[in-house]
Amino acid sequence: MISNESIPTMNTMFRFQWEQAQNSYVLLYPEGMIQLNGPAGEILALVDGEKPVAGIVADLKGKFGDVDSLESDVLEFLVEAQKQRWIEV
């Protein structure tokens, strides 16, 4: 279960990077590539293995403003990213 105190880290099977040709963030893995939408890329860009979920949410609020559902949206995405094995907690 992911909470505000959880510290997510990228799974070493994936490489997160900006892909100019796709004009988006992507996750690269040995068999291919996953193109991320804007919000997913913004969230994963803050996953550094040191910052807790609450810190990621705070950084996003600083960048995009205090959006009502931001915290729940970030938590929901991170749960899905963990299911997909993109991140570990």
Q: Tens-digit pLDDT profile for the chain (89 aa)?
A: 899 999 999 999 999 999 999 999 999 999 999 999 999 999 999 999 999 999 999 999 999 998 889 999 999 999 999 999 999 99
Q: Are 7 and 89 in contact (CB under 8 A)?
A: yes
Give pTM, 2 decimals. Answer: 0.94
Q: Are 22 and 34 in contact (CB under 8 A)?
A: no
**How many of the other CB atoms lie within 10 Å of CB of 57?**
20
Q: Which residue has the tokens 């749960």?
A: 79
- Could you say which DSSP state residue 14 is in? -
Alpha carbon distance 16, 35 (integer Å): 10
